[in-house]
Amino acid sequence: MSLRGKVALVTGSTSGIGLGIARCLATEGADIMLNGFGDASQIEALRSEMEASHGVKVAYNGADISKPDQIAAMVAETAKTLGSVDILVNNAGIQFTANVEDFPTERWDQIIAINMSGVFHGMKAAIPGMKAKGWGRIINIASAHGLVASAQKVAYVAAKHGVMGMTKVAAIELANSGVTVNAICPGWVLTPLVEKQLQDRATRDGTTIEFQSHAMVAEKQPMHKFTTPEQIGGLAVFLCSDAAATMTGVPLSIDGGWVAQ
Ligand code: NAD
Protein backbone atom coordinates (compact mmCIF):
# COMPACT_ATOMS: atom_id res chain seq x y z
CA MET A 1 0.00 0.00 0.00
CA SER A 2 1.33 3.43 -0.86
CA LEU A 3 0.24 6.90 0.17
CA ARG A 4 2.54 8.53 -2.38
CA GLY A 5 0.81 11.61 -3.79
CA LYS A 6 -1.29 12.09 -0.64
CA VAL A 7 -0.76 14.91 1.86
CA ALA A 8 -1.28 14.37 5.58
CA LEU A 9 -1.70 17.14 8.14
CA VAL A 10 -1.06 15.79 11.65
CA THR A 11 -1.76 18.19 14.53
CA GLY A 12 0.47 17.91 17.60
CA SER A 13 3.11 15.96 15.66
CA THR A 14 6.26 17.40 17.25
CA SER A 15 6.01 14.76 20.00
CA GLY A 16 4.51 11.45 21.11
CA ILE A 17 1.62 9.83 19.26
CA GLY A 18 1.37 12.54 16.57
CA LEU A 19 5.02 12.13 15.68
CA GLY A 20 4.63 8.33 15.53
CA ILE A 21 1.64 8.71 13.19
CA ALA A 22 3.44 11.27 10.99
CA ARG A 23 6.45 8.94 10.65
CA CYS A 24 4.26 5.94 9.71
CA LEU A 25 2.34 7.98 7.08
CA ALA A 26 5.66 9.33 5.70
CA THR A 27 7.03 5.77 5.53
CA GLU A 28 4.08 4.96 3.24
CA GLY A 29 5.02 7.94 1.02
CA ALA A 30 2.66 10.70 2.19
CA ASP A 31 3.91 14.28 2.27
CA ILE A 32 3.52 15.66 5.77
CA MET A 33 2.52 18.95 7.43
CA LEU A 34 3.88 18.84 10.97
CA ASN A 35 2.29 20.95 13.70
CA GLY A 36 2.88 21.44 17.41
CA PHE A 37 4.94 23.34 19.91
CA GLY A 38 8.63 23.01 20.72
CA ASP A 39 12.08 24.44 20.21
CA ALA A 40 12.33 25.93 16.68
CA SER A 41 15.76 24.45 15.89
CA GLN A 42 14.73 20.97 17.12
CA ILE A 43 11.56 21.11 15.00
CA GLU A 44 13.59 22.13 11.95
CA ALA A 45 16.04 19.26 12.61
CA LEU A 46 13.08 16.84 12.86
CA ARG A 47 11.50 18.23 9.66
CA SER A 48 14.66 17.89 7.58
CA GLU A 49 15.55 14.46 9.05
CA MET A 50 12.05 13.15 8.15
CA GLU A 51 12.34 14.53 4.63
CA ALA A 52 15.72 12.87 4.14
CA SER A 53 14.86 9.50 5.69
CA HIS A 54 11.43 9.06 4.07
CA GLY A 55 11.99 10.80 0.71
CA VAL A 56 8.83 12.89 1.07
CA LYS A 57 8.09 16.61 1.48
CA VAL A 58 7.76 17.65 5.12
CA ALA A 59 6.63 21.15 6.11
CA TYR A 60 5.84 22.69 9.50
CA ASN A 61 3.16 25.08 10.70
CA GLY A 62 3.08 26.24 14.32
CA ALA A 63 -0.68 26.94 14.52
CA ASP A 64 -2.07 26.99 18.05
CA ILE A 65 -4.94 24.46 17.97
CA SER A 66 -6.86 26.48 20.56
CA LYS A 67 -7.21 29.25 17.91
CA PRO A 68 -9.78 28.55 15.11
CA ASP A 69 -8.34 31.18 12.74
CA GLN A 70 -4.85 29.66 13.03
CA ILE A 71 -6.23 26.18 12.25
CA ALA A 72 -8.01 27.47 9.12
CA ALA A 73 -4.83 29.29 8.04
CA MET A 74 -2.76 26.10 8.53
CA VAL A 75 -5.15 24.02 6.41
CA ALA A 76 -5.01 26.71 3.69
CA GLU A 77 -1.20 26.87 3.87
CA THR A 78 -0.94 23.07 3.60
CA ALA A 79 -3.10 23.08 0.47
CA LYS A 80 -1.00 25.91 -1.00
CA THR A 81 2.47 24.54 -0.23
CA LEU A 82 1.88 20.75 -0.45
CA GLY A 83 -1.10 20.69 -2.84
CA SER A 84 -4.03 19.49 -0.68
CA VAL A 85 -5.05 18.03 2.66
CA ASP A 86 -6.01 14.42 1.90
CA ILE A 87 -5.49 13.01 5.39
CA LEU A 88 -6.25 15.02 8.52
CA VAL A 89 -5.16 13.58 11.85
CA ASN A 90 -6.58 15.61 14.72
CA ASN A 91 -4.17 14.59 17.46
CA ALA A 92 -3.05 17.65 19.47
CA GLY A 93 -4.10 17.33 23.08
CA ILE A 94 -3.27 18.18 26.66
CA GLN A 95 -4.19 16.82 30.08
CA PHE A 96 -4.84 18.21 33.55
CA THR A 97 -6.14 16.27 36.57
CA ALA A 98 -8.21 17.47 39.55
CA ASN A 99 -11.58 16.71 41.11
CA VAL A 100 -14.55 18.52 39.55
CA GLU A 101 -14.91 20.99 42.43
CA ASP A 102 -11.20 21.89 42.30
CA PHE A 103 -10.83 21.95 38.49
CA PRO A 104 -9.55 25.41 37.45
CA THR A 105 -11.95 27.05 34.98
CA GLU A 106 -9.11 28.20 32.72
CA ARG A 107 -7.83 24.58 32.48
CA TRP A 108 -11.35 23.42 31.55
CA ASP A 109 -11.54 26.08 28.82
CA GLN A 110 -8.07 25.20 27.50
CA ILE A 111 -8.69 21.44 27.33
CA ILE A 112 -12.09 21.89 25.66
CA ALA A 113 -10.56 24.36 23.16
CA ILE A 114 -7.62 22.12 22.17
CA ASN A 115 -8.87 18.55 22.66
CA MET A 116 -12.44 19.09 21.41
CA SER A 117 -13.09 22.37 19.56
CA GLY A 118 -9.76 22.04 17.72
CA VAL A 119 -11.04 18.81 16.16
CA PHE A 120 -14.23 20.54 14.97
CA HIS A 121 -12.32 23.49 13.48
CA GLY A 122 -9.82 21.15 11.77
CA MET A 123 -12.61 19.10 10.16
CA LYS A 124 -14.55 22.23 9.17
CA ALA A 125 -11.52 23.67 7.38
CA ALA A 126 -10.37 20.45 5.67
CA ILE A 127 -13.68 18.89 4.55
CA PRO A 128 -14.40 21.16 1.52
CA GLY A 129 -11.07 20.25 -0.14
CA MET A 130 -11.57 16.52 0.53
CA LYS A 131 -15.13 16.61 -0.86
CA ALA A 132 -13.90 18.41 -3.98
CA LYS A 133 -11.34 15.63 -4.59
CA GLY A 134 -13.80 12.84 -3.71
CA TRP A 135 -11.28 11.24 -1.32
CA GLY A 136 -10.28 11.96 2.24
CA ARG A 137 -9.42 10.39 5.57
CA ILE A 138 -10.13 12.11 8.87
CA ILE A 139 -8.64 10.37 11.88
CA ASN A 140 -9.50 11.84 15.27
CA ILE A 141 -7.30 10.74 18.15
CA ALA A 142 -9.81 10.27 20.95
CA SER A 143 -8.93 7.94 23.85
CA ALA A 144 -10.28 5.11 25.98
CA HIS A 145 -11.57 8.20 27.80
CA GLY A 146 -13.78 8.88 24.77
CA LEU A 147 -15.69 5.72 25.74
CA VAL A 148 -15.37 5.41 29.52
CA ALA A 149 -14.48 7.76 32.35
CA SER A 150 -11.87 8.05 35.10
CA ALA A 151 -11.88 10.26 38.18
CA GLN A 152 -10.11 13.64 38.07
CA LYS A 153 -10.25 13.97 34.28
CA VAL A 154 -13.53 15.83 33.81
CA ALA A 155 -12.42 18.14 30.98
CA TYR A 156 -10.42 15.46 29.17
CA VAL A 157 -13.23 12.87 29.38
CA ALA A 158 -15.84 15.44 28.29
CA ALA A 159 -13.65 16.56 25.38
CA LYS A 160 -12.90 13.00 24.20
CA HIS A 161 -16.58 11.97 24.42
CA GLY A 162 -17.30 15.11 22.36
CA VAL A 163 -14.73 14.00 19.78
CA MET A 164 -16.52 10.64 19.51
CA GLY A 165 -19.84 12.43 18.93
CA MET A 166 -18.51 14.72 16.22
CA THR A 167 -16.70 11.81 14.54
CA LYS A 168 -20.06 10.05 14.11
CA VAL A 169 -21.84 13.19 12.86
CA ALA A 170 -19.15 13.96 10.27
CA ALA A 171 -19.04 10.28 9.18
CA ILE A 172 -22.80 10.32 8.50
CA GLU A 173 -22.65 13.64 6.63
CA LEU A 174 -19.72 12.48 4.48
CA ALA A 175 -20.84 8.87 3.97
CA ASN A 176 -21.16 9.16 0.17
CA SER A 177 -18.38 11.64 -0.48
CA GLY A 178 -15.33 9.35 -0.47
CA VAL A 179 -14.29 10.78 2.89
CA THR A 180 -14.22 8.56 5.98
CA VAL A 181 -14.12 9.81 9.55
CA ASN A 182 -12.96 7.56 12.37
CA ALA A 183 -11.56 7.81 15.86
CA ILE A 184 -8.64 5.96 17.40
CA CYS A 185 -9.07 5.31 21.13
CA PRO A 186 -5.70 4.47 22.69
CA GLY A 187 -5.15 3.20 26.19
CA TRP A 188 -1.85 4.09 27.87
CA VAL A 189 0.94 5.26 25.56
CA LEU A 190 4.25 6.30 27.13
CA THR A 191 4.61 9.91 25.89
CA PRO A 192 5.45 13.24 27.61
CA LEU A 193 1.70 13.64 28.38
CA VAL A 194 1.74 10.39 30.41
CA GLU A 195 5.28 10.87 31.79
CA LYS A 196 3.96 13.96 33.61
CA GLN A 197 1.13 11.90 35.19
CA LEU A 198 3.66 9.22 36.26
CA GLN A 199 5.87 11.89 37.81
CA ASP A 200 2.89 13.46 39.66
CA ARG A 201 1.81 10.05 41.04
CA ALA A 202 5.38 9.15 42.10
CA THR A 203 5.74 12.50 43.93
CA ARG A 204 2.29 12.14 45.56
CA ASP A 205 2.85 8.54 46.76
CA GLY A 206 6.61 8.73 47.40
CA THR A 207 7.32 5.88 44.95
CA THR A 208 9.44 5.51 41.80
CA ILE A 209 8.37 6.24 38.23
CA GLU A 210 9.08 2.57 37.36
CA PHE A 211 6.67 1.43 40.11
CA GLN A 212 4.02 3.88 38.93
CA SER A 213 4.35 2.90 35.25
CA HIS A 214 3.41 -0.67 36.13
CA ALA A 215 0.71 0.34 38.66
CA MET A 216 -0.93 2.91 36.38
CA VAL A 217 -1.19 0.53 33.40
CA ALA A 218 -2.33 -2.44 35.54
CA GLU A 219 -5.06 -0.30 37.16
CA LYS A 220 -6.85 0.18 33.82
CA GLN A 221 -5.61 -2.40 31.33
CA PRO A 222 -5.89 -6.21 31.54
CA MET A 223 -2.78 -6.23 29.31
CA HIS A 224 0.08 -4.70 31.31
CA LYS A 225 1.78 -3.04 28.36
CA PHE A 226 1.99 0.47 26.92
CA THR A 227 0.89 0.85 23.30
CA THR A 228 3.59 2.56 21.20
CA PRO A 229 3.10 5.64 18.97
CA GLU A 230 4.21 3.47 16.03
CA GLN A 231 1.42 0.93 16.72
CA ILE A 232 -1.09 3.79 16.60
CA GLY A 233 0.61 4.99 13.40
CA GLY A 234 0.08 1.51 11.94
CA LEU A 235 -3.64 1.76 12.66
CA ALA A 236 -3.76 5.21 11.03
CA VAL A 237 -2.06 3.80 7.92
CA PHE A 238 -4.66 1.00 7.82
CA LEU A 239 -7.49 3.58 8.01
CA CYS A 240 -5.99 5.27 4.94
CA SER A 241 -5.98 2.00 2.96
CA ASP A 242 -8.64 0.68 0.58
CA ALA A 243 -9.34 -2.13 3.07
CA ALA A 244 -10.84 0.54 5.37
CA ALA A 245 -12.81 2.39 2.67
CA THR A 246 -16.20 1.45 4.17
CA MET A 247 -15.19 1.90 7.79
CA THR A 248 -16.58 5.19 9.05
CA GLY A 249 -17.87 6.66 12.29
CA VAL A 250 -16.01 4.01 14.27
CA PRO A 251 -14.12 4.20 17.57
CA LEU A 252 -11.09 1.91 17.17
CA SER A 253 -9.77 0.81 20.54
CA ILE A 254 -6.05 0.06 20.86
CA ASP A 255 -5.93 -0.16 24.62
CA GLY A 256 -4.74 -3.52 26.01
CA GLY A 257 -8.34 -4.50 26.80
CA TRP A 258 -9.20 -1.35 28.84
CA VAL A 259 -12.78 -0.92 27.57
CA ALA A 260 -13.48 -4.66 27.17
CA GLN A 261 -14.14 -4.86 30.93
P1 NAD B 1 2.32 14.71 23.85
O2 NAD B 1 2.30 15.69 24.99
O3 NAD B 1 3.51 13.83 23.67
O4 NAD B 1 2.07 15.45 22.47
C5 NAD B 1 1.10 16.44 22.33
C6 NAD B 1 1.36 17.22 21.06
O7 NAD B 1 0.36 18.23 20.95
C8 NAD B 1 2.71 17.95 21.08
O9 NAD B 1 3.24 17.96 19.77
C10 NAD B 1 2.33 19.37 21.50
O11 NAD B 1 3.25 20.36 21.06
C12 NAD B 1 0.98 19.49 20.78
N13 NAD B 1 0.14 20.54 21.32
C14 NAD B 1 -0.30 20.74 22.59
N15 NAD B 1 -1.05 21.84 22.66
C16 NAD B 1 -1.11 22.36 21.41
C17 NAD B 1 -1.75 23.50 20.83
N18 NAD B 1 -2.46 24.34 21.56
N19 NAD B 1 -1.58 23.72 19.51
C20 NAD B 1 -0.82 22.88 18.76
N21 NAD B 1 -0.21 21.79 19.24
C22 NAD B 1 -0.36 21.54 20.56
O23 NAD B 1 0.98 13.84 24.05
P24 NAD B 1 0.49 12.46 23.42
O25 NAD B 1 0.37 11.49 24.54
O26 NAD B 1 1.28 12.11 22.21
O27 NAD B 1 -1.00 12.87 23.02
C28 NAD B 1 -1.44 13.00 21.69
C29 NAD B 1 -2.93 12.73 21.63
O30 NAD B 1 -3.19 11.40 22.03
C31 NAD B 1 -3.75 13.63 22.57
O32 NAD B 1 -4.94 14.02 21.92
C33 NAD B 1 -4.05 12.70 23.73
O34 NAD B 1 -5.22 13.07 24.40
C35 NAD B 1 -4.21 11.38 23.01
N36 NAD B 1 -4.05 10.21 23.85
C37 NAD B 1 -2.91 9.96 24.54
C38 NAD B 1 -2.80 8.83 25.32
C39 NAD B 1 -1.54 8.48 26.06
O40 NAD B 1 -1.57 7.55 26.88
N41 NAD B 1 -0.43 9.16 25.84
C42 NAD B 1 -3.87 7.94 25.42
C43 NAD B 1 -5.04 8.23 24.72
C44 NAD B 1 -5.12 9.36 23.94
Q: What is the mean pLDDT of residues 217-241?
A: 97
Q: What is the mean pLDDT of residues 218-241?
A: 97
In the reported structure, the alpha carbon of residue 92 is separated from the centroid of ligand 1 by a whole-number distance in angstroms of: 4
Q: What is the pLDDT of residue 1?
A: 54
Pocket test of ligand 1: the residue of 67, 189, 216, 231 to mutate, having most ligand atoms within 8 Å of its CB, is 189
- Say whether pLDDT at 234 is over 70: yes
In the reported structure, the alpha carbon of residue 188 is separated from the centroid of ligand 1 by a whole-number distance in angstroms of: 12
Q: Are 180 and 244 in contact (CB under 8 A)?
A: yes
Question: Distance between CA atoms of 35 and 226, rounded to whole angstroms?
Answer: 24
Q: What is the pLDDT of residue 237?
A: 98
Pocket test of ligand 1: the residue of 10, 17, 255 to mutate, having most ligand atoms within 8 Å of its CB, is 17
Q: Where are the domains of the chain?
A: 7-189+227-260, 190-226
Burial 133-163 (b: 16+ CB within 10 A, else e): eebbbbbbbbbbbbbbeeeebbbbbbbbbbb
In the reported structure, the alpha carbon of residue 176 is separated from the centroid of ligand 1 by a whole-number distance in angstroms of: 31
**SS3 state at 101:** helix
In the reported structure, the alpha carbon of residue 256 is separated from the centroid of ligand 1 by a whole-number distance in angstroms of: 20
Q: Are 209 and 199 in contact (CB under 8 A)?
A: yes
Q: What is the pLDDT of residue 105?
A: 98
Give the binding-site residues of ligand 1, using a 6 Å CB cut-off. Answer: 12, 14-18, 35-38, 64-66, 91-94, 114-115, 141, 143, 186, 188-189, 191-194
User: Quick one: which H or E segment has residue 189?
Assistant: none
Tell me the whole-structure pTM to 2 decimals.
0.98
Listed in sequence order, the DSSP H helices in 89-220 are 105-111, 118-133, 154-173, 192-205, 209-220
Residues designated catalytic: 156
Q: Are 12 and 35 in contact (CB under 8 A)?
A: yes
pLDDT in tens, 29-66: 999 999 999 999 999 999 999 999 999 999 999 999 99
Question: How much is the mean pLDDT over the chain?
Answer: 97
Q: What is the pLDDT of residue 261?
A: 97
**CATH homologous superfamily, domain 7-189+227-260:** NAD(P)-binding Rossmann-like Domain (3.40.50.720)
- Ligand 1, atom 44: nearest CA belongs to which residue? 143
Q: What is the pLDDT of residue 68?
A: 98
- Ligand 1, atom 8: nearest CA belongs to which residue? 12
Atom of ligand 1 nearest to the CA of 144: 43
Q: Are 210 and 199 in contact (CB under 8 A)?
A: no
pLDDT in tens, 124-137: 999 999 999 999 99
Atom of ligand 1 nearest to the CA of 193: 2
